[in-house]
Amino acid sequence: MAEYAFKCADGTDPNCWEEVEIELEVDDLSEEQLSEIEEAGGTSLSRSQIDNSGISLDEDQQNQLRESGFVYVTFELNNVCPPCGSDQDYDKNGENTTAL
């Protein structure tokens, strides 16, 4: 697993972190692949990326990988930072200031 930085999908809180670190099963994603995941929720992965990640493929995906050498895989991102995704208030250090 590797950790990647994604833009906060909300950005409405004044203390928005602007980026969220998210772990994904694939270690060697390119900047282009990360952009595709952020924009569309998935990207095409090569055979070596699949083999190295241990991602399980269904039969259709296995056939696609055999035929083209790539397979489209979707990822569920929770890329809203805590300040934006909560009714609580946080400072720039991530400390909850609601109860203070």
What are the tens digits of pLDDT across the range 44-85? 999 999 999 988 999 999 999 999 999 999 999 989 988 888
Phi/psi of residue 42, nearest 5 degrees:
-170, 175
Q: What is the pLDDT of residue 100?
A: 53
Q: What is the pLDDT of residue 58?
A: 94
Q: pLDDT, tens digit, for every residue of 5-37?
A: 999 999 888 888 899 999 999 999 999 999 999
DSSP state, residue 82 = T
The residues, ordered by sequence, that sit 6+ positions from 72 with a Cβ below 8 Å of its Cβ are 42, 43, 44, 45, 61, 64
Q: What is the pLDDT of residue 83?
A: 82
Q: What is the pLDDT of residue 97?
A: 77
Q: What is the pLDDT of residue 43?
A: 97
| Statement: residue 99 has pLDDT above 70 | no
Q: What is the pLDDT of residue 50?
A: 94
